[in-house]
Amino acid sequence: MQRVSNVTSHEQKPSKPLLLSKGLVGASRTGRNAPRCLLFQRLFMTCASELLWQSNSAVIEQALQTSWLRELAQGTLSESNLASFLSVDTEFLAGYWRCLGLLCFTAETGWEHQVLAELSHAIAAERGSVSAQEQVAAKHGAQQLVAAAAAPTATATRSVSSTNRQNSAPALHKVCQGYLRLLMRHSRGLLEELIHASGAFHEEQGGIAPVEASWRRARLLLVAAMVPCMSLYAFIGRKLSVHIQAADDHDPRKSARATWVATYSSPKFQELAESFELLLDLYAEQWCSATSETLERLVQQLNEIAYAPAMQFEMQLFAEACP
């Protein structure tokens, strides 16, 4: 069985998810409905999402090399480690979904609302699916412990496994809470800017916010902190899909692992990731056009304040899931 590292053996740096590559921009239904100027820009010019992804290639590669993802690809990940990760993922998705609700409130065009509404619906559905996967994995994990307890030589192995699981759970929750605090901080920043600006632009602009309004930058920061989750999972799902055979669906011990990979390698999830990156590119382009700030400078700030910290949290979640 190949290691995950072999998946990227022909690439010096991690490439974007399939639908995020320039040649396929607009391939999804939502992408086709995006502003044409934005699609043109992504086809022929460097975009914020691409620059941010490339700036974090080292952390993305670290995530691919974590034990949790390598064991998932090899089919050796224990149900208990899978259940622990899914439990934390359910907690994270609840907070992520709330942030999407705030972004929906700021949508100004039909396309923006469509993107955010579809994301919100998908994340809510994903949370239910992850919770179900967690129950399946926890059930089989418990069965493994019962079987191990009956084995004469299982005492030492069971002790080590239990210790690792107990040590990983608090660390996982700590990383998850840190990640959620990052999202909540940017959500709070956006909400405060919206409250501050609401009276002013309704009085002075007849209800239309100026493009350079500070709440737009706060919104851009929140989107930049949320995009890594979608982009990285779409990327990982595509990479790992070649390792998870369809036969796994008929093996109850592997069904939860196969379902996890199938969720994030699905065309629908790839489309959602593409749409969210398109939205990030749109907001970045609007801000640069209104303020004359260079894209490189904006990307540097977005990366330092939002994107890179979020990607670091993503990597740490995988690292702590299987110590």
Quickly name the fold that domain 28-37+47-143+169-321 has: Heme Oxygenase; Chain A (1.20.910)
Contact 258, 248 (CB under 8 A): yes
Q: Model's pTM, two decimal places?
A: 0.79
- Model confidence at 28: pLDDT above 70: no
Rounded CA gap, 100 and 102, in Å? 5
Closest by CA to 193, choosing from 214, 207, 208, is 214
- Mapped onto helix, strand or coil, the DSSP state of residue 322 is coil
pLDDT in tens, 167-201: 457 899 999 999 999 999 999 999 999 988 876 65
Q: Across residues 10-31, what is the average pLDDT?
A: 43
